[in-house]
């Protein structure tokens, strides 16, 4: 009788646990986090496709905007260049609509979410709207370099904001945490430097500075500024890796993210060197250079948010003692 009662309690406990897990799986905060992370991945793909569009000289393959040759699907004019520009717009539009869904969900569930979350999502929506406007201007203003640069810069900010939301809305507790404000601020500094370096890279790409420098010795200042900018961005990123590994009592996830950032830094430097030596003649390398840089920025953003969460958690634990 006692054994049956014990088995019954175990079964009920398991059922309650399953219901709790199911509820947590569909909780608004989980849905928001997963949606934000999914849109961030799609945004990274949009930027990679945009890089391919530029490298293949397809930025004006669709001469009008927002349609392409006056239609949603220009079957008669379709070729590789038209497809790249059309597909870039298609994925970008999908990201925009998905962000509207994220915005709607954030405000619909606002009573069950942290107060800052709907406001942060609103900021991301503002960025993607501005990004769409800049996307239209890149076509109507015939790929003017400052607009093209702002287009990528805004896209990187939007990408970073989604990752920050996803990380900040994640699990609140990190295991094996110690106070590491220095590491958190170091991660932020590295992310800012990588972002600025990405903007310099966009200036080089939008003005074809490398081609002009090698051909006519023009625009070499822009190119050299980007090359010099590699040093602080690389040093700061590698410093994050070294400090993370030398700090023993930190959450394992921080060490893993830092290690991935270090791998991306080395990959980015290698690809950048090969791209420079080959004078941008190998298109896949140029595309990979931009895509890896965006991934590095996103990784550093994730690391920074998690590091600041760890600091806050540690401070909260100290306050309760």
Per-residue pLDDT of 281-298, as tens digits, reads 788 999 999 999 999 999
Tokens of 252: 């394992």
CA nearest neighbour of 161 among 200, 126, 113, 196: 126
CA nearest neighbour of 171 among 317, 33, 35: 33
Q: 179: which DSSP letter?
A: -
Confidence check: pLDDT of 16 > 80: no
- The number of beta carbons lying within 10 Å of the beta carbon of residue 96 is 17
Backbone angles phi, psi at 68, to 5 degrees: -125, 110
What pLDDT does 279 receive? 78
Q: Where are the domains of the chain?
A: 14-170, 171-321
CA nearest neighbour of 178 among 303, 319, 318, 321: 318
Cα 230 from chain centre: 19
Tokens of 98: 């998905």
- The number of beta carbons lying within 10 Å of the beta carbon of residue 8 is 10
Percent of the chain with pLDDT over 90: 70
| Better-scored residue on pLDDT, 113 or 173 | 113
CA nearest neighbour of 83 among 48, 56, 65: 56
CA nearest neighbour of 189 among 301, 313, 310: 301
**Residue 40 CB-half CA count within 13 A:** 25
Which residues share a beta bridge with 71? 68
pLDDT tens figures, 124-178: 999 999 999 999 999 999 999 999 999 999 999 999 999 999 999 987 556 555 5
Q: 3-class DSSP state for residue 24?
A: helix
Placement of tokens 């962000």 in the chain: 99
pTM listed for this prediction: 0.89
């Amino acid at each position: 009788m006692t054994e049956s009662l014990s088995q019954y309690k175990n079964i009920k406990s398991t059922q309650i646990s399953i219901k709790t897990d199911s509820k947590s799986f569909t909780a608004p905060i989980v849905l928001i986090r997963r949606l934000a992370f999914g849109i961030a991945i799609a945004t990274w793909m949009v930027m990679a496709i945009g890089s391919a569009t530029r490298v293949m000289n397809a930025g004006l393959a669709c001469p009008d905007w927002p349609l392409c040759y006056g239609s949603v699907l220009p079957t008669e004019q379709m070729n590789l260049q038209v497809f790249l520009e059309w597909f870039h717009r298609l994925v970008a539009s999908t990201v925009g609509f998905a962000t509207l869904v994220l915005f709607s969900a954030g405000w619909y569930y606002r009573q069950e979410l942290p107060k800052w979350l709907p406001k942060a999502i609103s900021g991301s929506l503002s960025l993607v709207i501005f990004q769409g406007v800049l996307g239209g201007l890149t076509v109507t203003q015939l790929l003017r370099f400052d607009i093209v640069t702002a287009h990528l810069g805004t896209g990187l900010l939007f990408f970073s904001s989604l990752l920050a939301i996803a990380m900040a809305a994640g699990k609140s507790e990190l295991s094996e945490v110690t106070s590491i404000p220095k590491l958190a601020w170091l991660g932020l500094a590295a992310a800012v430097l990588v972002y600025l370096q990405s903007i310099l890279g966009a200036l080089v790409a939008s003005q074809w500075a490398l081609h002009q420098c090698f051909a006519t010795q023009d625009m070499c200042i822009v190119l050299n500024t980007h090359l010099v900018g590699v040093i602080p961005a690389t040093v700061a990123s590698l410093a994050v890796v070294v400090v993370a590994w030398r700090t023993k009592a930190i959450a394992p996830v921080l060490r893993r993210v830092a290690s991935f950032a270090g791998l991306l830094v080395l990959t980015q430097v290698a690809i950048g060197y090969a791209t420079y030596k080959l004078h941008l003649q190998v298109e896949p390398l140029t595309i990979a250079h931009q895509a890896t840089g965006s991934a590095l920025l996103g990784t550093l953003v994730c690391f920074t948010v998690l590091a600041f969460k760890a600091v806050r958690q540690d401070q909260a634990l100290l306050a309760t003692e």
